[in-house]
C-alpha cells in the first residue's frame, strides 16, 4: 500500500534519529512540546496513524475535545495524505484502520489516572481493546503536579504501553538552554523522549530534545503543516 | 386576520427525545391563550398534551407526526410546528425545517447537548435556520445551564450567549434575571401566568452584571452603533441591544440562550418575547425556487402576497373529512375558490376549504398569504409537491430523503384486513417519503421499508388502530447490498436462432468498482461496432442487472460499466437482443469481479450512567459493534459506536436490563460496510433458504 509507505518514509519522529520503530519502548513516556496552535495534536494523531497502519491499537484520550472532533482530526489528516490515491481502496483501508483506534474523552477536572485505568480495565477484561500506544491530549502540566505523571508512568509499565502527551508551552516563558520550559522541569526526568515543535512564520519545525541516539542529526526538520509529515 | 409580515414568526421546536419540547409547546399554547388548561405528556388526567394528537403518541409519550398550530403573542402571530425527537422520524424534522424561518433548540439542563441535538443541529445548518436555545428542566436535580451553554459552544460550535441567569436552581428555581432589562422576573399564579418583575436579588447582582457584559460584548460584533455606545459609555437601550442580537441570530452567528422549566411553568413568557424579538419574519429569510422553464435556474422569491402563488405541501394527514394538506405559502395568496397547479403532474385543482391548524382542531380562514402556514382540504398530492398559479412553472427545492435500511413482510389476516391494509399503506407512503412499500414478486408478500425498527412498528400499529387492518409481521430484514471489488472484462455474444428472425448482439468491455455512485455507464465505442441506436438498450440491460445480484439476489451498487467493442447483425440485431447481451455480459463478468455483500451500519449512541459503561461496551462489542469512543460527562457517559443494523434487533430490551433502565440510545444510518466472510456465508444460507421457501 503506497500510503503506508509514504507515512513511514515521511514520519518526522523516525527521521529525527530515534532507535525504535515506535520511538518509545514498552512502558515509555514521551511528550511533544509546543505553543498553542502549532500542531501538537496533529503530530500525535500522525504518530497514532503510523501505529494503526502497523495494526497496533491506539487509545486516544482527549481532555479538550469531543469524540467527534477527535475523530475529525484523524479523518482530515488521513484524507490529506490519501487524496492522491484510489478512493475505493483507500476507503476500505481506512475502515480497517479504524478497528485499531479507540477515543476516550474526559473533562479536564474529572480526569485521573485511576479513572483512566478503570475504563481501560473495562475494555481489556472484555477483550474489546488493548492499547499498544496511548495519546493523552490536553493535560495541564503546570497544574497536574508530578504525582499524576508518576502514576501514568507506572500504568504504562504495568500494561506494557507507550504513552505520548502534549505539553502546552507558554509564549511568555523563555525556554532554558536545553529547550525545556521552566514549568516543565519538575517532571522532565519522567519522560524518555521529548520533541519540540516550533513555528517560524508559516513553517513548522520539529526538533528532538531528549531520547534520540547520540550520533543522530541534531538540527530541526521542516514539516508540512497540513499533514505534519516531513516536507517533501 | 391581520396582514403584517413583520409580525409573523414560523418556528419549529427541535430537540433530543425527552427534553420536554411537547411540554414546552403545551405551555406556549396556554400562555398565548390557545388552550385553557394544561395537560401533561403521559398525564394522569388521561387527556395528554394538546400537540400529541394521535392516540399512539399519547400512549407512548412521544411525538410522531409534527402537529402545526398557530398562536398570538403580543401582537405577533406565531406558527409552531412541533417536531418529533426520535431519529427514526427525522424526515419529519427535515420537512418542518424546510418550511420554517426559525427554531427553538430545546436542551435539557441536566443532559445537555445530547446525540440527537447534534443531528437536529446539523439539519438546522443544512436549511440555514436561525435559532435561539432554551435550556429546559432547570428545576431538575443536577441542573447546570452554564455547562449546557459551554457544550453548545464546544460540541455544536455555536456562539452561544446567555440572555438570562436563573434565580435559584433545581428545586429552588424561582425565576430568571433578564440580562437585557436587568430585572428579575418571577412567575406566579397557579400555572405561572402572572409575571412579576422586580429588582435583581442582591446576591445575584455581580453575576448578572458579568453575564450582561458578556452579552453586550457578543452583540457588539453585529452593531457599530452598539460598539460606539459601549466606547462612549452611554446607556444601552434594550432596543439597541435586541437589534444587534437579532442581526447576529439571523446570520446564524449568534445563539441567544434562554432558560427555565416548562414543567414548572417558569420563564416561558420571556422565551416567547425572545421569539418575537430575535427570530426572523418570513420576508427576512431568503427562499429559493427552481424555474423549470430555465433549466432549473434558482430564483429568489420576494414573498410578495400580490404576486402569483408559489406554495409547498410539506405534510399530509388523513383526517375525518379527507386528506389534509399542510402548506407553506412563499409567494402570492391562496384564496378559497382559487385555481392552483401541482407542478409535479400539471394537474389543476380548485382550492376548497382553507384552514389554520391547532393540533387536531382547525379554524376556517378565507386566504393564506405569503409567509403563512396553513392547510388545504380535498387536494390530492404527495408530500413535497409544489403548488403554483396557472402559467407559472417553478418548484421549491427538493428535499433530501434518505433511503430505507430495514424491511418487514406483512400479511393481512383476512380479505377485509387486506383492503384496509392497502388503503393504509397508500396513505402512509404518501405522507412519509422514507416509508416505502412493494410486493415481492417471488413470495407475493407485501414488504414495508423504513428507517428503523421503531419506524416500522409505529406504522404497523397505526394500521391496526386507524384502519382496523389486522396484520401479522415477519422478522425484520436488513437491506443488504452487493458490490464488486475488482475489474473484470467481458466479451459476450447473445445469439438465438429459433425460426423466424433471430437475435444477435455482441458486447465487450469491462466492469469495475466505484465508490461515489451507484451505477455509471460509459460508452467508449468508436467506429460504430455497436450502432448508436442500440447503446441505450445496452445501458438498460446493465441497469436491469443491477436490481438483483446473480448470486445472493441483493441489489448491486457501486459498479461502473464501460463498453468498448461489440458487433451487430443487419437483420437479427434489435434492442431486445442487445439488452439480453448486456445482461449476459454482466452475469458473466460479475462473478469474476469478486462480489461482496455490504450491510447497513448504524451510528449507535448510548448515554448511560458511568457505572454501566463497561457492560454497555460489552453489549455493543457482542453485536459486532466498533466503538468509536466514550465521552465522560461526570456521572453520565456517552458511548459512540458503529453497529451493523442486523445485530441491533431487540437491543433496547437488552440495554434496559443491563443498565436497570437507566441508559438510553439513539440510532441512525451511518454507512454501508463489507460483511465479514463468516457472516456473508450465513447470509448466503439464509438467502438460499428464503428462495427455496418462495419456490
Please indicate if any CB of chain B lies within 8 Å of the CB of A83. Answer: no
H or E segment at B51? none
How would residue B570 be classed by pLDDT, with cut points 50, 70 and 90?
confident
- Shortest Cα–Cα distance, B440 to chain A (Å): 32
Residues of chain B with CATH 3.30.70.870: 406-476
Lowest mean per-residue pLDDT among A51-55, B89-93, B564-568: B89-93
pLDDT over 90 at B322, yes or no: no
Angle formed at CA B263 by CA B259 and CA B267, multiple of 5 degrees? 35
C-beta of residue B557 within 8 angstroms of C-beta of residue B518: yes
According to CATH, what is the number of the domain B598-679? Answer: 3.30.70.240
Q: Do A123 and B631 touch (CB under 8 A)?
A: no
pTM of the full structure: 0.62
pLDDT over 60 at B57, yes or no: no
Q: Which three cell numbers stand for residue B296?
A: 432549473
pLDDT over 50 at B478, yes or no: yes
Q: Do A103 and B629 touch (CB under 8 A)?
A: yes
Q: Do A70 and B638 touch (CB under 8 A)?
A: no
pLDDT over 50 at B44, yes or no: no
- Shortest Cα–Cα distance, B154 to chain A (Å): 8
pLDDT over 70 at B56, yes or no: no
Q: What is the pLDDT of residues B502-546, one digit of tens each?
A: 889 999 999 999 877 889 999 998 888 899 999 999 999 999 999
Q: In chain A, whose CA is at the least distance from the CA of B598? A: A92
- Shortest Cα–Cα distance, A20 to chain B (Å): 29
Q: Do A105 and B629 touch (CB under 8 A)?
A: yes
Q: In chain B, whose CA is at the least distance from the CA of A110? A: B634
Checking ipTM against 0.85, whether it exceeds it is: no
Mean pLDDT in chain B? 84
The whole-number pLDDT of residue B65 equals 47
The whole-number pLDDT of residue B285 equals 86
Q: Do A122 and B634 touch (CB under 8 A)?
A: no
- Shortest Cα–Cα distance, A158 to chain B (Å): 21
The whole-number pLDDT of residue B61 equals 46
Please indicate if any CB of chain B lies within 8 Å of the CB of A106. Answer: yes
Please indicate if any CB of chain A lies within 8 Å of the CB of B633. Answer: yes
**C-alpha closest to that of B247 among B273, B224, B213:** B224
B259 or A198, greater pLDDT: B259
Q: The CATH number of B288-396 is which of 3.50.50.60, 2.40.30.10, 3.90.1150.10, 3.40.50.2300?
A: 2.40.30.10
Q: 3-state class of A151 per DSSP?
A: helix
Q: Indicate the residue of A70, A115, A126 with minimum beta-carbon distance to B617.
A: A126
B1 or B684, greater pLDDT: B684
B232 or B94, greater pLDDT: B232
- Contact residues, A window 124-143, toward B, CB-based 8 Å cutoff: 125-126, 128-129
Residues of chain B with CATH 3.40.50.300: 5-284
**C-alpha closest to that of B259 among B11, B19, B77, B10:** B19
H or E segment at B562? strand B559-567
Q: Do A104 and B613 touch (CB under 8 A)?
A: no
**Test mutation, B156, B601, B631, chain A, max A CBs within 10 A:** B631
Rounded Cα gap, residues B335 and B645, in angstroms: 48
Which CATH architecture does the domain made up of B406-476 adopt? 2-Layer Sandwich (3.30)
Q: Do A122 and B617 touch (CB under 8 A)?
A: yes
pLDDT tens digits in sequence order for chain A, 232 residues long: 677 787 777 777 777 777 667 788 889 999 999 888 788 898 999 899 989 988 999 999 999 888 888 888 898 888 888 877 777 678 888 888 999 999 999 888 778 999 999 989 988 988 889 999 999 998 887 767 788 999 999 999 999 999 999 988 887 777 776 778 877 888 889 999 998 888 887 788 888 888 777 666 667 778 877 777 777 6
B390 or B47, greater pLDDT: B390
The domain spans of chain A are 2-230
Q: Do A107 and B632 touch (CB under 8 A)?
A: yes
Q: Do A67 and B629 touch (CB under 8 A)?
A: yes
Find the distance separating the first CA and the last CA of chain B, reported in whole Å: 64
Q: Do A104 and B629 touch (CB under 8 A)?
A: yes
**Helices B613-622 & A113-125, crossing angle to 10 degrees?**
30
According to CATH, what is the number of the domain B5-284? Answer: 3.40.50.300
CA–chain centroid gap for B49, Å, is: 22
Q: Which three cell numbers stand for residue B268?
A: 416561558
- Shortest Cα–Cα distance, A114 to chain B (Å): 14
The whole-number pLDDT of residue B560 equals 94
Q: Do A122 and B638 touch (CB under 8 A)?
A: no
Please indicate if any CB of chain A lies within 8 Å of the CB of B279. Answer: no
Phi/psi at B53 (5° precision): -85, -25
Residues recorded for chain A: 232
Rounded Cα gap, residues B650 and B452, in angstroms: 12
Q: Do A102 and B629 touch (CB under 8 A)?
A: yes
pLDDT over 80 at B638, yes or no: yes
**Test mutation, B112, B629, B640, B676, chain A, max A CBs within 10 A:** B629
C-beta of residue B646 within 8 angstroms of C-beta of residue B613: no
Among A146-155, A177-186, B76-85, B96-105, the range of highest mean pLDDT: A146-155
Q: Do B632 and A106 touch (CB under 8 A)?
A: yes
The whole-number pLDDT of residue B55 equals 56
Domain A2-230 of CATH type 3.40.630.10: no
C-beta of residue B312 within 8 angstroms of C-beta of residue B328: yes
How would residue B456 be classed by pLDDT, with cut points 50, 70 and 90?
confident
Q: Which three cell numbers stand for residue B458?
A: 409505529
Contacts of A87 in chain B (CB under 8 A): 515-516
Phi/psi at B68 (5° precision): -105, 140
C-beta of residue B77 within 8 angstroms of C-beta of residue B7: yes
- Contact residues, B window 338-377, toward A, CB-based 8 Å cutoff: none
H or E segment at A206? strand A203-210
**Test mutation, A58, A61, A102, chain B, max B CBs within 10 A:** A102
Please indicate if any CB of chain A lies within 8 Å of the CB of B640. Answer: yes
State what percent of residues in chain B have pLDDT above 70: 88
The whole-number pLDDT of residue B275 equals 93
Q: Do A105 and B674 touch (CB under 8 A)?
A: no
**Test mutation, A66, A108, A137, chain B, max B CBs within 10 A:** A66
Q: Do A105 and B516 touch (CB under 8 A)?
A: no
- Shortest Cα–Cα distance, A26 to chain B (Å): 24
Angle formed at CA A224 by CA A220 and CA A225, multiple of 5 degrees? 100
Contacts of A114 in chain B (CB under 8 A): none
Instruction: Name the region of B159 (left: φ>0; alpha: ψ -120 to 50; beta: rest).
Output: beta
Average pLDDT over residues B294-309: 85
- Shortest Cα–Cα distance, B514 to chain A (Å): 6
Q: In chain B, whose CA is at the least distance from the CA of A129? A: B627
Domain B486-593 of CATH type 3.30.230.10: yes
The whole-number pLDDT of residue B284 equals 87
Q: Do A88 and B513 touch (CB under 8 A)?
A: yes
Rounded Cα gap, residues B30 and B272, in angstroms: 12
Rounded Cα gap, residues B602 and B669, in angstroms: 4
Amino acid at each position: 500500500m503506497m500510503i503506508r509507505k509514504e507515512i513511514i518514509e515521511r514520519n518526522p519522529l523516525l527521521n529525527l534519529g530515534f532507535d525504535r520503530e515506535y520511538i518509545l519502548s514498552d512502558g515509555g513516556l514521551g511528550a511533544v512540546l509546543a505553543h498553542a496552535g502549532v500542531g501538537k495534536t496533529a503530530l500525535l494523531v500522525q504518530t497514532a496513524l503510523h501505529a494503526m497502519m502497523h495494526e497496533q491499537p491506539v487509545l486516544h484520550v482527549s481532555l479538550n475535545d469531543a469524540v467527534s472532533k477527535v475523530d475529525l482530526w484523524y479523518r482530515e489528516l488521513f484524507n490529506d495524505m490519501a487524496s492522491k490515491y484510489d478512493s475505493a481502496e483507500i476507503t476500505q483501508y481506512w475502515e480497517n484502520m479504524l478497528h485499531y483506534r479507540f477515543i476516550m474523552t474526559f473533562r479536564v477536572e474529572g480526569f485521573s489516572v485511576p479513572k483512566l485505568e478503570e475504563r481501560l480495565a473495562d475494555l481489556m477484561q472484555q477483550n474489546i481493546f488493548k492499547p499498544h500506544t496511548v495519546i493523552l491530549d490536553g493535560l495541564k502540566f503546570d497544574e497536574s503536579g508530578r504525582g499524576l505523571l508518576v502514576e501514568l508512568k507506572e500504568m504504562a509499565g504495568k500494561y506494557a504501553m507507550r504513552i505520548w502527551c502534549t505539553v502546552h508551552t507558554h509564549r511568555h516563558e523563555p525556554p532554558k538552554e536545553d529547550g525545556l520550559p521552566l514549568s516543565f522541569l519538575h517532571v522532565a526526568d519522567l519522560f524518555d523522549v521529548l520533541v519540540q515543535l516550533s513555528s517560524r512564520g508559516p513553517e513548522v519545525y520539529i526538533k528532538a530534545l531528549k531520547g534520540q541516539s547520540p550520533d543522530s542529526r541534531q538540527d530541526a526538520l521542516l514539516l508540512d503543516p497540513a499533514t505534519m509529515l516531513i516536507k517533501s | 386576520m391581520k396582514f403584517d409580515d413583520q409580525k409573523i414568526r414560523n418556528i419549529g421546536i427541535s430537540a433530543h427525545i425527552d427534553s420536554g419540547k411537547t411540554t414546552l409547546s403545551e405551555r406556549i399554547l396556554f400562555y398565548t391563550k390557545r388552550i385553557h388548561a394544561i395537560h401533561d405528556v403521559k398525564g394522569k388526567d388521561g387527556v395528554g398534551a394538546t400537540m400529541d394528537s394521535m392516540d399512539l403518541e399519547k400512549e407512548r409519550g412521544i411525538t410522531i407526526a409534527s402537529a402545526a398550530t398557530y398562536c398570538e403573542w403580543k401582537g405577533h402571530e406565531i406558527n409552531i410546528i412541533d417536531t418529533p425527537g426520535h431519529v427514526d422520524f427525522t424526515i419529519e424534522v427535515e420537512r418542518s425545517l424546510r418550511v420554517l424561518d426559525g427554531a427553538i433548540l430545546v436542551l435539557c439542563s441536566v443532559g445537555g447537548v445530547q446525540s440527537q441535538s447534534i443531528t437536529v443541529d446539523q439539519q438546522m445548518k443544512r436549511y440555514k435556520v436561525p435559532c435561539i436555545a432554551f435550556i429546559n428542566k432547570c428545576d431538575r436535580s443536577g441542573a447546570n445551564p452554564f455547562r449546557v451553554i459551554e457544550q453548545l459552544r464546544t460540541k455544536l460550535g455555536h456562539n452561544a450567549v446567555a440572555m438570562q441567569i436563573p434565580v435559584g436552581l433545581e428545586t429552588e428555581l424561582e425565576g430568571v434575571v433578564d440580562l437585557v432589562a436587568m430585572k428579575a422576573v418571577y412567575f406566579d399564579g397557579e400555572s405561572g401566568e402572572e409575571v412579576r418583575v422586580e429588582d435583581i436579588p442582591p446576591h445575584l447582582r455581580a453575576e448578572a452584571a458579568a453575564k450582561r457584559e458578556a452579552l453586550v460584548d457578543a452583540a457588539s460584533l453585529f452593531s457599530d452603533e452598539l460598539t460606539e455606545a459601549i466606547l462612549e459609555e452611554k446607556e444601552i437601550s434594550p432596543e439597541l441591544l435586541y437589534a444587534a442580537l437579532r442581526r447576529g441570530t439571523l446570520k446564524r452567528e449568534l445563539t441567544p440562550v434562554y432558560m427555565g422549566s416548562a414543567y414548572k411553568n417558569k420563564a416561558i413568557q420571556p422565551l416567547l418575547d425572545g421569539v418575537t424579538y430575535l427570530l426572523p419574519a418570513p420576508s427576512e429569510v431568503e427562499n429559493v425556487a427552481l424555474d423549470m422553464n430555465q433549466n432549473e435556474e434558482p430564483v429568489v422569491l420576494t414573498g410578495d402576497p400580490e404576486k402569483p402563488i408559489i406554495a409547498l405541501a410539506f405534510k399530509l394527514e388523513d383526517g375525518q373529512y379527507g386528506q389534509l394538506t399542510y402548506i407553506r405559502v412563499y409567494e402570492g395568496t391562496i384564496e378559497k375558490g382559487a385555481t392552483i397547479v401541482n407542478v409535479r403532474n400539471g394537474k389543476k385543482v380548485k382550492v376548497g376549504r382553507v384552514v389554520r391548524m391547532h393540533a387536531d382542531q382547525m379554524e376556517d380562514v378565507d386566504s393564506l398569504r405569503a409567509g403563512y402556514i396553513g392547510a388545504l382540504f380535498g387536494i390530492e398530492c404527495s408530500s413535497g409537491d409544489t403548488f403554483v398559479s396557472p402559467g407559472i412553472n417553478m418548484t421549491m427545492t427538493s428535499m433530501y430523503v434518505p433511503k430505507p435500511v430495514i424491511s418487514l413482510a406483512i400479511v393481512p389476516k383476512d380479505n377485509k384486513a387486506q383492503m384496509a391494509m392497502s388503503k393504509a399503506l397508500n396513505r402512509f407512503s404518501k405522507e412519509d417519503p422514507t416509508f416505502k412499500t412493494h410486493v415481492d414478486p417471488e413470495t407475493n408478500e407485501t414488504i414495508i421499508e423504513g428507517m428503523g425498527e421503531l419506524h416500522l412498528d409505529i406504522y404497523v400499529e397505526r394500521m391496526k388502530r386507524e384502519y382496523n387492518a389486522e396484520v401479522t409481521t415477519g422478522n425484520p430484514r436488513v437491506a443488504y447490498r452487493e458490490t464488486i471489488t475488482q475489474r473484470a472484462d467481458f466479451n459476450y455474444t447473445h445469439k438465438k436462432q429459433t425460426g423466424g428472425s433471430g437475435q444477435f448482439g455482441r458486447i465487450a468491455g469491462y466492469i469495475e468498482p466505484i465508490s461515489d455512485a451507484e451505477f455509471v455507464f460509459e460508452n467508449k465505442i468508436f467506429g460504430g461496432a455497436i450502432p448508436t441506436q442500440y447503446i441505450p438498450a445496452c445501458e438498460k440491460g446493465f441497469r436491469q442487472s443491477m436490481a438483483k445480484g446473480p448470486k445472493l439476489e441483493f441489489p448491486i451498487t457501486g459498479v461502473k460499466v464501460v463498453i468498448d467493442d461489440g458487433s451487430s447483425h443487419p437483420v437479427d440485431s434489435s434492442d431486445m437482443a442487445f439488452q439480453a447481451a448486456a445482461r449476459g455480459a454482466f452475469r458473466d463478468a460479475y462473478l469474476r469481479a469478486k462480489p461482496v455483500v455490504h450491510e447497513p451500519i448504524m451510528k449507535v449512541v448510548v448515554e448511560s450512567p458511568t457505572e454501566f459503561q463497561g457492560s454497555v461496551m460489552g453489549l455493543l462489542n457482542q453485536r459486532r459493534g466498533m466503538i468509536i469512543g466514550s465521552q465522560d460527562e461526570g456521572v453520565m457517559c456517552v458511548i459512540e459506536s458503529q453497529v451493523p443494523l442486523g445485530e441491533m434487533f431487540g437491543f433496547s430490551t437488552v440495554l434496559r436490563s443491563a443498565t436497570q433502565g437507566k441508559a438510553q440510545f439513539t440510532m441512525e444510518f451511518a454507512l454501508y460496510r463489507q460483511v465479514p466472510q463468516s457472516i456473508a456465508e450465513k447470509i448466503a444460507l439464509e438467502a438460499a433458504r428464503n428462495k427455496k421457501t418462495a419456490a
